[in-house]
Every structure is written in C-alpha cells, then in structure tokens.
C-alpha cells in the first residue's frame, strides 16, 4: 500500500476520524490562477492542455503549491468521453464546448463506438500516472467523470444549453433512444473511471451538472439509475485501500436520500441546501462534500471566514465532511481569497474533531 503523507480527505469520505476537516475546491486547477493561464497559453488551447500529460500534471499541481489543499484533482474535462466516441469536440471562444456531430437519432446512438479508455483516452491515464508520480504521496488524487445524463445533454444539444429542449424532446418523445444512449454512457463511464483507478486515482467523483433540470421522477429515470449502475460497477479497492466514490448533482438537494441509497460513499452538495439539514437527512449513511457558494470568495476575508465557520458549525462534530465550494471556483476570484478559505477551514475545524 502506497503511503500517503496526508490522507484526511480519504478518511473523511469513509467517515473515519480526522484531525481537521479536509478541503479541496472544484476547478482548483484553473482559470483564476495566473500560472494556469500561462500554461494554457503555452499549450495553445484547452483540449491541447488536457491531452498533454506533462502540462496537465503541472496545472494539477499548481494550486497545491499555493494552498494547503487535502487532495489534488486530475486536470481534464467531462467531455473527453463524447470526444472519444468521435463527436468532434471543439471550444468556441466565449461559447463553451461544441460538437461537430451531435447525436440526433437512434441510428446516431447505435453508431457510437464503445472505446478502450487506455487507447482513445490514454492521454488521461498517462496524466493520472504522471500526477501520481509527481505528487509523491503528498495528498490523494481524485479522478472524475461526467454523469451519463450530463454527458448526454451536451451530446444531444450539440453543446451548452439553457432550456435543454433537444435532450428533453428525446427523453419524452423517444425515451428508448435516450435510454440506449444513457446505457452506453454508463458502461463507458464505468470503464473510464476504473481505468483511472487502475492508473492511480485514489477516489473518484461523478459530476451530474444538469441532473437538477429534471423533474423528480425523470431524475430517477434518466440520471440517478445510471449513476447507481456505475457505482455498482466501480473498482472499490485498489492499492490495499478503499477507493471512495462521490456523486454530485447540482440542484439535487431534494433527492439526497435517493442519491445516498446508490451505495456511494459521499454526496456532493451545492450551496442551495443547508448542510445541517443534509446531515440530518443522510449523514449516518454517507459523507457530505460542500458547500459554500463559490461567489462568497468575492467577499472580504473576514466574511469568507465567517461563512466557513457557519458551514463547519452546521455540520458539527465528527468526521464525514469534506469542505468544498458548492460548484467550481469562478475565474475572476483573487487567489489570495482562496487561500483565506482553505486556511480558515483547517484553523476553525479542529474543534469539531476532538
């Protein structure tokens, strides 16, 4: 078993005792750091950065040099899977991701190839191996994927969407086509995450960014059941240690009990739910990750510290809390505010772990 100098993030996910509440930030390797922008410019564009294991490793490690974070997260994108399926991913400046060949019919779904993650997405596995080597056991490495529903929204819409009319039209007018697509994606995500674990990821997270746009019944039907299928298929032990899995549905607070019942180890929370309520509902079943509003990092340092203390007090005594933002850090947040956030968590959380 490889020794970790700091394993409090993994311990908290498994609800084991820790000395203080661990913290990492969604999108911690990214656009708010000037050194990230330099490397991205050097790479040429975002996907070239993702596909270069050395540069992906460099930007993964950058935030760890600035802040006392308790985990590193692989630098990649959730849309690597549809890209590997041949949809022709590209990024429009100011528009976000686009696909040259969106999925519009049952024939399109049937034509999607199942891929070998070590081949078509070998660059991701090379990045995982490179990062693990360079971390030298300092903190654990998180691997991740988008959820089948979230990936499907991009693939069917052809990019980002506000109203999700195309994917919902498929869901309600041709549900069997969408289920075929989601099933294929669930298999692909399972093999992709298992390949990341085999390459060295010590914990994995599934981002269901768009699950919250569904009705409760449709959420279970089109999103949750496919995440549950993935959880069932994941490698849950590697390197002599458990590999915890976190599920995060943005705007999914009303479905916490159902998410917790999938067999995952932790449930990610956005900022629209009170962490004390979340703990009362599912805290004996799973760990919780979250959940400060990322925009709070615009506030003066004293206000950031106050918010951190409020959330820590809301969770209260004991392990099972990984502190995070409720979504990704915004690109125009001052890095020194991120430092205030991280340091405050470590400082104020120790009293809850006596």
Q: What is the pLDDT of residues 309-351, one digit of tens each?
A: 999 999 999 999 999 999 999 999 999 999 999 999 999 999 9
Average pLDDT over residues 134-162: 97
Integer Cα distance of 342 and 319 in angstroms:
18
Of 147, 124, 114, whose CA–CA distance to 229 is shortest? 147
Integer Cα distance of 281 and 180 in angstroms:
33
Is residue 116 among the annotated active site residues? no
pLDDT at 174: 98
Residue 326: CA count within 13 A, CB half-sphere: 21
pLDDT at 167: 98
Average pLDDT over residues 59-71: 98
Average pLDDT over residues 171-180: 98
Least confident of 93-97, 205-209, 261-265: 93-97
Is residue 31 among the annotated active site residues? yes
Which CA distances in Å does 156 have to 56, 161, 165? 28, 10, 10
Considering 19, 27, 241, 281, which one is annotated as catalytic?
Answer: 27
pLDDT at 95: 76
CATH number of 8-353: 3.20.20.210
CB atoms within 10 A of CB 6: 17
Is the pLDDT reported for residue 1 higher than 80? no
Average pLDDT over residues 192-200: 98
How would residue 248 be classed by pLDDT, with cut points 50, 70 and 90? very high
Is the pLDDT reported for residue 94 higher than 80? no
| DSSP H or E segment with residue 63 | helix 53-66
**Annotated binding-site positions for substrate:** 27-31, 77, 154, 209, 327
Is residue 27 among the annotated active site residues? yes
Average pLDDT over residues 206-231: 98
Considering 36, 154, 219, 226, which one is annotated as catalytic?
Answer: 154
> pLDDT averaged over the chain?
97
Considering 19, 37, 77, 129, which one is annotated as catalytic?
Answer: 77
Integer Cα distance of 194 and 36 in angstroms:
28
Buried-state track 120-143, b at ≥16 Cβ within 10 A, e below 16: bbbbbbbbbebbbeebeebbbbbb
pLDDT at 2: 64
Average pLDDT over residues 154-182: 97
Structure tokens at 136: 């030298």
**Annotated binding-site positions:** 27-31, 77, 154, 209, 327
* Cβ within 8 Å of residue 42, ≥6 positions away: 55
Considering 19, 37, 40, 236, which one is annotated as catalytic?
Answer: 40
pLDDT at 17: 98
Average pLDDT over residues 271-298: 97
Is the pLDDT reported for residue 181 higher than 90? yes
Is residue 40 among the annotated active site residues? yes
Integer Cα distance of 213 and 157 in angstroms:
14
């Amino acid at each position: 078993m490889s020794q970790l100098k700091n394993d409090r993030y993994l311990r908290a996910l498994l609800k084991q005792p820790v000395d203080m509440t661990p913290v990492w930030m969604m999108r911690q390797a990214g656009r708010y750091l000037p050194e990230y922008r330099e490397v991205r410019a050097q790479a040429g564009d975002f996907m070239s950065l993702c596909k270069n294991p050395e540069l992906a490793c460099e930007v993964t490690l950058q935030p760890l040099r600035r802040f006392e974070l308790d985990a590193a997260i692989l630098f990649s994108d959730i849309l690597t899977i549809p890209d590997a399926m041949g949809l022709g991913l590209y990024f429009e400046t100011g528009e976000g991701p686009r696909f040259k060949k969106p999925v519009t019919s049952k024939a399109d779904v049937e034509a999607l190839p199942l891929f070998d993650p070590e081949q078509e997405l070998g660059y991701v596995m090379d990045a995982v191996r490179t990062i693990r080597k360079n971390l030298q056991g300092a903190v654990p490495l998180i691997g991740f994927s988008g959820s089948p529903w979230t990936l499907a929204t991009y693939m069917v819409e052809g990019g980002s969407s506000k109203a999700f009319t195309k994917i919902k039209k498929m869901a309600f007018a041709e549900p069997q086509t969408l289920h075929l697509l989601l099933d294929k994606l669930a298999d692909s995500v399972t093999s992709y995450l298992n390949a990341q674990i085999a390459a060295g990821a010590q914990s994995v997270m599934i981002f269901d960014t768009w699950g919250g746009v569904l009705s409760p019944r449709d959420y279970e039907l089109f999103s949750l059941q496919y995440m549950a299928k993935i959880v069932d298929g994941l490698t849950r032990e590697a390197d002599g240690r458990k590999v915890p899995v976190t599920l995060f549905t943005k705007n999914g607070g009303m479905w916490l009990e159902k998410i917790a019942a999938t067999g995952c180890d932790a449930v990610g929370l956005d900022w629209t739910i009170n962490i004390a309520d979340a703990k009362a509902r599912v805290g004996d079943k799973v760990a919780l990750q979250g959940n400060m509003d990322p925009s709070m990092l615009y506030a003066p340092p004293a206000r950031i510290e106050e918010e951190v203390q409020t959330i820590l007090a809301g969770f209260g005594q004991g392990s099972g809390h990984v502190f995070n933002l409720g979504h990704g850090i915004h690109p125009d947040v001052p890095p020194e505010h991120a430092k205030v956030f991280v340091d405050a968590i470590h400082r104020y959380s120790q009293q809850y772990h006596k």
